[in-house]
Amino acid sequence: MLGSGKFLNKKIVFILVVVLILIIGGIFLWINKPKEIKGSPDDYVIKETQEGIVVENSRAGLRFKVPDGWKARKVEVEEGSVVLYSPDAESVYQGKIRPPLKKGCMIEIAVGYRKKTFEEIEKDIREELKLLGVVKSEKFERIEIKNSPALKITFNCSDLGSNIDVYIPRDRMFYGIGMSVGPQELERCNQELDRFLETISFR
């Protein structure tokens, strides 16, 4: 039919217009998509005060006191973190104190600048545990820190030894606190962690 060519052309033009609208709309949504906020090691400030050594991260609204006699250092990688370790802490490796520990206690504090639910955190941790060699034990429990709900995970694995992790989800971020424990020192380090958590403040 003579009119079929015109009809086909109109159909093609219509399809092209629809595709163009979808592309423009997609670009608009991509441009206006909330971008993930990234932190920096520079966000953490370690300073001496009358109450002792404290660490502040004003960007994340985080502040905590370094346990008396413990040492503190920043981890200058990606968003950064702060590592605290007891005077007797000793790693199985040479050099910097890092898990697994031969003895003593070590705490690492970091901030994730994205919203995460308890369910998402627990799922991620369970996936990570599968990659950490043989997991000898694990325990997930809900706790409260400064009247805020938190997730506490106690586990023992062949790659990292005994660990206690605490996660505090907030509106647009979450705080992660990991305690590495020397053999036979779980009870002592757990008590140290409880005392440390009493000094922490966050928004």
State yes or no: pLDDT of 45 exceeds 70: yes
Of 91, 55, 174, residue with least CA distance to 125: 174
Domain made up of 41-202: CATH architecture: 3-Layer(aba) Sandwich (3.40)
For residue 89, what pLDDT is reported? 94
Rounded to a whole number, what is the distance in angstroms from the first to the last CA of the chain?
72
> What's the token pair of residue 191?
């008590």
Q: Which of 157, 164, 198, 196 is nearest to 181 (CA)?
A: 164
What is the predicted pLDDT for the residue at 54? 97
Q: Is the pLDDT of residue 24 over 50?
A: no
Return the domain boundaries, the chain. 1-33, 41-202
pLDDT at residue number 18: 43
| pLDDT band at residue 29 under the 50/70/90 scheme | very low
Average pLDDT for the chain: 83
Reply yes or no on whether the pLDDT at 14 is more than 80: no
Tell me what pLDDT residue 150 has: 96
Q: What is the pTM of this model?
A: 0.78
Paired strand residues for 149: 144
Report the pLDDT averaged over residues 122-129: 88
Percent of the chain with pLDDT over 70: 81
Phi-psi region of 147 (alpha: psi -120 to 50; beta: other; left: phi over 0): left
pLDDT at 191: 96
Q: For residue 2, is pLDDT > 80?
A: no
Average of per-residue pLDDT across 93-104: 87
Interval 22-27 mean pLDDT: 41
In this structure, the number of other CB atoms found within 10 A of the CB of residue 183 comes to 13
What is the average pLDDT across 163-183? Answer: 92
Q: How confident is the model at residue 129 (pLDDT cuts 50, 70, 90)?
A: confident
Secondary structure class of 126 (helix, strand, coil): helix
